[in-house]
Amino acid sequence: MAEQTGNLTAPSGRIDFECSPETYRHWKLAFHGETAELIMNVDENATLFEGYQLKLNSYDLGVDIELADALQRLRFEHPEVKVVVLKSGKDRVFSAGANIRMLAGSSHGHKVNFCKFTNETRNGMEDSSEHSGQKFLCAVKGTAAGGGYELALSCDRILLADDGNATVSLPELPLLAVLPGTGGLTRVTDKRKVRRDLADAFCTTEEGVKGKRAVAWRLVDRTVSSSRFDATIVEMARELAAQSDRPSDATGISLTALARAIDGDRVVYSTVGVEIDRHGKRATIKVQGPTTPPPGTTAEIHAQGADFYPLRLSRELDDALLHLRLNEPAIGTLIFKSEGDPDLVLAYDALLAAHQSNWLVREVLNNWKRVLKRIDVTSRSLVALIEPGSCFAGTLAEIVVACDRAYMLDGRLEGDNRPEARLALSALNFGRYPMSNGITRLETRFLGEPESVGTAKARIGEPLAASDAAALGLVTESFDEVDWEDEVRIFLEERASFSADGLTGLEANLRFAGPETMETKIFGRLTAWQNWIFQRPNAVGPNGALKRYGSGVKGDFDPDRV
C-alpha cells in the first residue's frame, strides 16, 4: 500500500535511502584532480511523491538522499578530493530551495523528518570540512533562495556572480509563514556572523540581497563578474585546498550496496536486524558483533573496503534508523540489543584508535560519529537492553549511553547458557564521538558529576558486570532474572501509553544538556519551533500561506502572538 503523506502519494510505498551515482536523477559528479564538482541539475519530473514538479532546482527528500550519498562517496571513494565545488546545472538559478508544493501537500511528520534529514546532511558537510579535510565552495549563479541558500551556507566559502541576476535570500517568513528549515537563521548569525539587524532585514525581504551588499553583510564571501566567475572558482578552490590534509596519492574504496532484505515486519542486514512489533508500537534493533579478529594493518583495512566490520555496521545501522524514521512513523520506541563477543569489539576499537591518523580509519570514525548523532536526534524513545551474550563495548557502548534508558540483566535467565551480560568501555568513548553539543555522551551524562567520567575512564577495557555498571552510572538500573521481564515489560507498556508529542519534547530537551552549539540550536531550537509552526493555521490552514502559495491570494494570518 502506498504511503500517504498529506495529499501526496509515494508510488513505491517505501522511501529507500540506498542509491548510487549511476541512478542519480538530480546530481552529477565531475572530478578534476584535487577538486570535484557537485552539480545540481534537478529532474523536475523525478519526484519522490506524485502531485508536484521540482522546478527551478527545487528539491524534495529524494534530491537530498542523492546528495547525502554523493557526500559519502566523496569521503570514502575519493580521498584525493580536497575541495568540492557546488554548482547549478541550470541557467539563471542555483536552487529555489525545498519544493513548496511538496511541503504544502506533505504530512506534518514528513515535513519534520525531511527538514531533519537535510539538517543532518548539511551538518555532515561542515563535519567533513572540519574533521575530514574536505572543504566546500559554493558557486552561486542565479537565485539561491531558502533551502538553496541554506545549502550554500553549509559550505566554507560562497562565491556570488555579480551579474544583476544572482541573489541570496531566505524568504520563508514573508512568503510561506514558516522558518528556514535547515539552519538558515542560525548559520547567518552564528557562522556568517551577520549583524542582528541586518539578519532581520535579510530574512524578511522576499527579493533577497545581491552583489556588493551581499558581501558587505557577510552573506557571501566574494562577488565577481560573470567573465571572471570560472577563474575565481579555480582561485578560491586552490586557496581552500591548501587548508586540507587529505592525501593526494591515496586510493579510495568502493561503497558497495548494502546487504538488506525487507520481509514484512523484519529488516535484515549482515550485522543488523530489525523486528517490528506493531501492537506494542516498538521495534527491536539487534546489532551483531564481529565474528573474526580485526585486520592487523591499514593495508588490510583498505583491502576489506566496505566489508570492514566497523564501516559495514555503521552503514547498515544508519540505513535501519532512516528506514524506521521515514517509513514507520507509528513505531514510538526503539529497543537496542546486541549479540557477540565484547572482546572482539574492543579489539576493533584498539585498531581504530591506533590508526586514526590514517585517512580511511579517520573516515570510518567520522562516519560512526555521524551515525551516533543520528541516534541522538531520532524522535523516538530509545532504550538499551543489555542481556547475556551482548557485546555493548567501546563504540557499541555509545549506543547504550545515547539511549534515554538502559537496563542490564544481572546474572542469567533460566535455561540461557550464554555469557553473563557485560559492558565495557574503550578509549574511543572519551573524546572520539562528541555529540552535537561538542562534548562526549559520558560528559553529557555526568554533567553534574564530572568526576564520574574519570572514574569510568579508569575502568577502560574492563568487563563490567551489571552491579558495577549500575554503580558507575552507566546504566539506569540492573535487574535479576526474577524481575527482568516484568520490569522491562512495564517500562515498554508505560512508554507506549504516554503522549507521543509530549515524549518527543521531553526527550529532545533532556538529551542535550551542557553547552549550546550551532548544531544544538539547529536541532534543539530551530527544529522545535519549526515543528510547531508547521502545524499552525497561518502556515498550513486552509487560508494559510503554504496552501495559498501561487494562487495570487495572500495568506490570511491570525494576529495572536501567543
CA distances from 441 to 429, 453, 512 (A): 8, 10, 9
The 3-class secondary structure across 50-84, one letter per residue, is CCCCCHHHEECHHHHHHHHHHHHHHHHHCCCCCEE
Helices (H), 328-396: 342-354, 359-376
pLDDT digits (tens, 9 = 90+) for 86-134: 999 999 999 999 999 999 899 988 998 999 999 999 999 999 999 999 9
274 close to 265: Cβ distance less than 8 angstroms: no
C-alpha cell at 509: 530537551
Provide the pLDDT confidence category of residue 374 given band limits of 50, 70 and 90: very high
Q: Which of 278, 268, 385 is nearest to 331 (CA)?
A: 278
pLDDT digits (tens, 9 = 90+) for 195-240: 999 999 999 999 999 999 999 999 999 999 999 999 999 999 999 9
Diameter of the chain measured on Cα atoms: 78
- 476-486: average pLDDT: 96
Q: How many CB atoms lie within 10 A of CB 507?
A: 17
Residues 6+ apart with CB under 8 A from 485: none
pLDDT digits (tens, 9 = 90+) for 515-540: 999 999 888 777 777 778 888 899 98
- State the architecture of 260-507 in CATH terms: Alpha-Beta Complex (3.90)
Question: What percent of the chain clears pLDDT 70, i.e. is strictly above it?
Answer: 98
pLDDT digits (tens, 9 = 90+) for 189-199: 999 999 999 99
Do the domains 22-241 and 260-507 sit in the same CATH topology, yes or no?
A: yes
CA distances from 36 to 33, 158, 161, 330, 470 (A): 7, 16, 20, 40, 50
- 452-474: average pLDDT: 98
| pLDDT recorded at residue 12 | 55
Q: Which of 559, 555, 337, 520 is nearest to 439 (CA)?
A: 520
One of 3.90.226.10, 2.60.120.1570, 2.30.130.10, 3.65.10.10 is the CATH number of 22-241, namely: 3.90.226.10
Q: What's the whole-number average pLDDT of the chain?
A: 94
193 close to 518: Cβ distance less than 8 angstroms: no
- 248-265: average pLDDT: 96
Name the residue ranges covered by the structural domains of the chain: 22-241, 260-507
pLDDT digits (tens, 9 = 90+) for 1-15: 234 446 665 555 799
pLDDT of 60 strictly over 80 = yes
Helices 309-327, 108-127: crossing angle, 10 deg rounding? 150
* Phi-psi group of 278: left, alpha or beta (phi > 0 → left; psi -120 to 50 → alpha; rest → beta): alpha
Residue showing cell 565474528? 291
pLDDT digits (tens, 9 = 90+) for 328-339: 999 999 999 999
475 close to 466: Cβ distance less than 8 angstroms: yes
pLDDT digits (tens, 9 = 90+) for 382-404: 999 999 999 999 999 999 999 99
